[in-house]
Structure 1
Amino acid sequence: MKLVIQGKNIDITDAIREYVTQKIEKAVSHFQNLTMEVDVNLSVSRNPRITTNQSAEVTIYANGTVIRAQESSESMYASVDLVADKIARQLRKYKEKRNSKKAQTKVEAGTILEEAPVTEDLIGDRTAQLPPEVVRTKYFAMPPMTPEDALEQLKLVDHDFYMFCNAVTGEINVIYERNHGGYGIIQPRQPSGSNGNGNGHHSNGKVERMSSIHKA
């Protein structure tokens, strides 16, 4: 397992590095077969109005799935403790759902399922050209998935939204948590002259949406 520790507005001392390594390795010890890489980002906010200004963020790349957790407190060591516990719960939930899906999947005799390869080098020789306001860039694999799978991924990354490649349409979609409950999906508009009318509607006048996805 590859463990990368980075810091923002904080000096990563040997003591902090050793503590993070110990806590994170313990948290993922039962999931070594799933975990490929673990990125840990420690940061301290310079805003004096924020009392819980010391944050620990853990991102795990597990067989093409991204699992993320973040916690903040007044102490970096406490934040590391909290995020280690949280990422362990996230991994346990992911493993349980993964095993459940395997048990429910029935493959007909003679059928061979071939997984699309996911490249390990997500950046390649690209150089990000970003506006000065953008302070961080993330690259991640985007294997095709259903909206239902994207919803599960959204819950794992602990974000308000998740971008994915729709396995049905081949388009890039965004699933997000709505302020008033439930989840929504953002899809590209159909160009004029296609099946849609350019306003996000199909020719039958109905808006395409994920009515079956609700907040658990």
Structure 2
Amino acid sequence: MKLVIHGKNIEITDAIREYVNQKIEKAVNHFQNLTTEVNVHLSVARNPRINPKQAAEVTIYANGTVIRAEESSDNLYASIDLVADKIARNLRKYKEKRLDQKTQAQPKTAVVVEEVPVAPDLIGDRTPELPTEVVRTKYFAMPPMTTEEALEQLQLVDHDFYMFRNAETGEINVIYERNHGGYGVILPRNGNGHTNHKNGKTAHGNSATPEKSTAKG
């Protein structure tokens, strides 16, 4: 297993490196056959108004799947403990899902969904804030996948949304966690004001509709 440790506004000392190795190796010990690479990003916020200030982020690449967790606290070692526990839970969840898929005898059934309009306000009571500059750029592979597969990825990456390439339309979609429960999908609108559905037809309307919405389960 390849373990890479990065630091932002912090020196990665031998003591920190040893502690990260100890905690992460323990967290992934029972999942060595799934894990190919582990990236650990440690950071300390310079802005005194940011609290908690010390964060630990772990990204694991497991057989083409990305599993991610992030925790913050006032103490870097405490943040490492918290993120190690969370990544172990996410790995366990991923392994159990793989086993369920292998042992499932009956054909996979479609999820019953209901088409609802995209919420006009996706941020709820939160105050929208834009950074003054781009502070981080991420690149990642975007293999085609179904909405169900994208939902599984969303539940593993510890984010509120997940961007993916729809396997049936070839378009870039975004699946997100709704403030009031469940999930929604944001679809692009083509030039004539239509949205593509997975059956290859187009739908007419004044607003984009989610491809599907389903509850956590």
TM-score (norm 1): 0.79
Deviation readout 1:5-53 (Å, 9 max, x if unpaired): 0011111101001110111011111111111111100001122233421
Match of 1:3 in 2: 3
Equivalent pair of 1:64/1:141 in contact (CA under 8 Å): no
Shift of 1:75: 0.8
Question: SS state of the match for residue 48, structure 1?
Answer: coil
Q: Distance in 2 between matches of 1:206 and 1:73?
A: 41
Equivalent pair of 2:186/2:208 in contact (CA under 8 Å): no
Question: SS state of the match for residue 152, structure 2?
Answer: helix
- Cα distance, 1:106–1:214 mapped onto 2, change above 3 Å: closer
Shift of 1:148: 1.2
Match of 1:12 in 2: 12
Q: 2:139 corresponds to which letter in structure 1?
A: Y
5+ long unaligned stretches in structure 1: 108-131
- After superposition, residues 167-206 of structure 1 pair within 5 angstroms as 167-192=167-192, 202-203=203-204
Q: Distance in 2 between matches of 1:9 and 1:181?
A: 36
1:215 aligns with 2:216: yes
- Cα distance, 1:101–1:177 mapped onto 2, change above 3 Å: same
Question: SS state of the match for residue 185, structure 1?
Answer: strand
- After superposition, residues 44-193 of structure 1 pair within 5 angstroms as 44-104=44-104, 133-192=133-192
5+ long unaligned stretches in structure 2: 108-131, 197-201
1:28 aligns with 2:28: yes
Q: Distance in 1 between matches of 2:78 and 2:169?
A: 44
Q: Distance in 2 between matches of 1:204 and 1:9?
A: 49
Shift of 1:104: 2.0
- Cα distance, 1:195–1:79 mapped onto 2, change above 3 Å: closer
- Cα distance, 1:173–1:105 mapped onto 2, change above 3 Å: farther
Question: SS state of the match for residue 47, structure 2?
Answer: coil
Equivalent pair of 1:64/1:143 in contact (CA under 8 Å): no
Which fold has the larger relative contact order, with Cα–Cα distance below 8 Å and residues 6 or more apart in sequence? 2
Question: SS state of the match for residue 134, structure 2?
Answer: coil
Question: SS state of the match for residue 26, structure 1?
Answer: helix
- What is the RMSD of the two structures over their aligned residues, measured on CA atoms? 2.5
- Cα distance, 1:136–1:35 mapped onto 2, change above 3 Å: same
